[in-house]
A and B are shown apart, each in its own frame.
Chain A
Amino acid sequence: MALNSVCYGVRQTLVSLLRNLWLALASSAMIAISLMVLGAFLLAAVNAGQFMRVIESTVEVNVFLKEDADVRGIQQRLLGLGGVEQVTFVSKEQGLQEFQRSMGDKADLLSGFEGENNPLPDSFRVRAESADLVPALAHQISFYAGVDKVLYGEEYVEWLVKITRWVNVICLGAVAVLTVAAVFLIVITIRLSVVARQDEISIMKYLGASNWFVRGPFVLEGMLVGFTGALLAVAVLGAGYYYLVAALWQMTMLFFVQPVIDTAVLTPIMGGLLALGLLMGGVGSLISVRKYLRV
């Protein structure tokens, strides 16, 4: 498109925005709210993901061996399994030491079980790549020769897998609904400025204006409205998140909850929100103008 037309389009956009300033601000605010909720969901999802990973990394399968078991051979088979991240051998002596340590000041109750009297078996601690692999792995390992018993936090793992799945579904659903709602708002805003300039549009078509010449200012207007909203959302979210993390830090809650502060994760989220604002504005305007372009 010619430079003249671009200049014309920009001028029209600004005039139109100024004329409907309050409406434009209102829809920017609505988009800001939608994107804020969306962004909050994303941040929550990222943090939940991190939290899950921390928990998952602690989920282990304890493989207890029989007295006469072929330790070497079982270790080889465990390492050869798909989905296994780490295999640690825990000898009966180590097992007892850990047990004593966990008993704290009552550890002396266990004195006399050392050496020949140690009732604990040798064991392997198997860490899976993710929590949902654990049940299947445990089941498989239990059939190995020399394996006495396989234990893992059965209910705990299943609960974790279920929660993860639901959190994902709910987040995706909410994001979809909010996106549709925000686009709908832009459609309404732009439709109002289209209707206000309907005569102009029909005259433009009679004068030989191209479709993009007619559409351009509206699409630009929508994108500007969307971007302003997104900018607002990112500012509020960023500030809110910053203070939340700072507050957690002060409450020394960070030991239990580790929020995501990696900019390599946060920057794409914020950038994505801005891009989404632009995209929603543009798409909304296109939907709005489409009907009025047929001449």
Chain B
Amino acid sequence: MIQLYNVSKVYDSGIPAVSDISIRIAKGEFVFLVGPSGAGKSTVTRLIFREQLPTTGQVFFRGKNVLRFGQRDILQLRRQIGMVFQDFRLLPRKTVFENVAFALEVIGRSRREIRERVPVALAQVGLQGKEEAFPDQLSGGEQQRVGVARAIVKKPLVILADEPTGNLDPDTSWELMGLFEQINRDGTTVLIATHAWDIVNRMRKRVIALENGRLVRDEEQGSYRHGA
């Protein structure tokens, strides 16, 4: 599904964010991308989303080289990836329903399709009955569930989450992870960048660890720290 070959990224400031990383993520996998702040986790998600281009190396999505993508291909790529953000990025003046519907509106789906699919996505994240609420009337955990519903409503192939639990308390974080696991069980590939070591340790999923922009570990059913 996603392949990075010897990817390095040096920002304009001259600081290398990632150096010579190779990662291969298959369809239907659940992967944690771990490491301290500044290790390069966000850069990896940005490279996959083609928000940034690597300085050297190649990035493939479904066998296609994203470096060669034109404007149209980039749109297609982004429509197949559901993004979940640490700060939720909901629109404060839209209701829960409208926020989720927005994801379908911007890719030109019909009103009928929106009316059908939004309630399904909201039910999946357990937010039935909150359709008319505004984001600031919800708890942090609920807001992030709206974020997840917005990511999955367009039925993406991949969910990319950048520190999704960064603003949540431990219990809520744990619930959210359960949600991601369930989405993954339905066949969606999930990649979560996080430094919530306790969650990573309990989940026993594949762990890719970065440190100072280098890939230091990649193991199935891994934990946050080697041997922990």
Interfacial residues, chain A to chain B (CB-CB below 8 A) = 1-2, 4-5, 8, 199-200, 202-211, 213, 295
Cα distance A161–B104 when bound, in Å? 65
Question: Is B107 a contact of A8 with CB atoms below 8 Å?
Answer: no
- Please, which residues of chain B bring their CB within 8 A of the CB of A2? 108
Residue on A nearest B77 in the bound complex, by CB:
A208
Indicate the member of B91, B102, B107, B150 with the most A CB atoms within 10 Å: B107
Cα distance A55–B160 when bound, in Å? 77
Residue on A nearest B102 in the bound complex, by CB:
A207
Instruction: Check: B83 CB closer than 8 A to any chain A CB.
Output: yes
Question: Is B91 a contact of A209 with CB atoms below 8 Å?
Answer: no
- Please, which residues of chain A bring their CB within 8 A of the CB of B78? 205-208
Question: Is A203 a contact of B108 with CB atoms below 8 Å?
Answer: no
- Please, which residues of chain A bring their CB within 8 A of the CB of B111? 4
Cα distance A205–B103 when bound, in Å? 10
Indicate the member of B49, B103, B106 with the most A CB atoms within 10 Å: B106
Cα distance A199–B150 when bound, in Å? 16
Contacts of B175-195 to chain A: CB distance below 8 A: none
- Please, which residues of chain B bring their CB within 8 A of the CB of A206? 49, 78, 83, 89
CB pairs A–B below 8 angstroms (17 shown): A1-B108, A5-B108, A8-B106, A199-B91, A200-B91, A202-B89, A204-B102, A206-B49, A206-B78, A207-B83, A207-B102, A207-B106, A207-B150, A207-B154, A208-B106, A208-B154, A295-B51
Question: Is B107 a contact of A209 with CB atoms below 8 Å?
Answer: yes
Question: Is A4 a contact of B105 with CB atoms below 8 Å?
Answer: yes
Apart from the given pairs A207-B78, A207-B102, 19 other A-B contacts in the complex at a CB distance below 8 Å: A1-B108, A4-B109, A4-B111, A8-B105, A199-B91, A200-B91, A204-B106, A205-B78, A206-B49, A206-B78, A206-B83, A207-B83, A207-B150, A208-B79, A208-B106, A208-B107, A209-B106, A211-B71, A295-B51
Cα distance A2–B154 when bound, in Å? 17
Instruction: Check: B26 CB closer than 8 A to any chain A CB.
Output: no
Contacts of B68-100 to chain A: CB distance below 8 A: 71, 75, 78-79, 83, 89, 91
Q: Which of A8, A203, A205, A208 has a CB less than 8 Å from the CB of B91?
A: A203
Contact with A along B188-210 (1 / 0, CB 8 A): 00000000000000000000000
Question: Is A208 a contact of B75 with CB atoms below 8 Å?
Answer: yes
Contacts of B152-189 to chain A: CB distance below 8 A: 154
CB distance from A290 to the nearest CB of B (A): 15
Cα distance A169–B206 when bound, in Å? 74
CB distance from A9 to the nearest CB of B (A): 10
Cα distance A213–B104 when bound, in Å? 12
- Please, which residues of chain A bring their CB within 8 A of the CB of B154? 207-208
Residue on A nearest B74 in the bound complex, by CB:
A208
Instruction: Check: B13 CB closer than 8 A to any chain A CB.
Output: no
- Please, which residues of chain B bring their CB within 8 A of the CB of A203? 89, 91, 102
Question: Is B107 a contact of A207 with CB atoms below 8 Å?
Answer: yes
- Please, which residues of chain B bring their CB within 8 A of the CB of A211? 71
Residue on B nearest A6 in the bound complex, by CB:
B108
- Please, which residues of chain B bring their CB within 8 A of the CB of A210? 71, 75
Residue on A nearest B92 in the bound complex, by CB:
A199
Cα distance A4–B111 when bound, in Å? 8
- Please, which residues of chain B bring their CB within 8 A of the CB of A295? 51
Question: Is A4 a contact of B108 with CB atoms below 8 Å?
Answer: yes
Cα distance A209–B109 when bound, in Å? 11
Cα distance A200–B91 when bound, in Å? 7
- Please, which residues of chain A bring their CB within 8 A of the CB of B91? 199-200, 203
Cα distance A208–B75 when bound, in Å? 5
- Please, which residues of chain B bring their CB within 8 A of the CB of A200? 91
Q: Which of B51, B83, B108, B150 has a CB less than 8 Å from the CB of A213?
A: B108
- Please, which residues of chain B bring their CB within 8 A of the CB of A209? 106-107
CB distance from A163 to the nearest CB of B (A): 53
- Please, which residues of chain A bring their CB within 8 A of the CB of B109? 4
Indicate the member of A5, A200, A209, A211 with the most B CB atoms within 10 Å: A209
Indicate the member of B51, B75, B89, B105 with the most A CB atoms within 10 Å: B105
- Please, which residues of chain A bring their CB within 8 A of the CB of B108? 1-2, 4-5, 8, 213
Top 10 nearest A-B pairs by Cβ distance? Answer: A209-B106, A208-B78, A2-B108, A208-B79, A5-B108, A207-B106, A4-B108, A207-B103, A204-B106, A206-B83
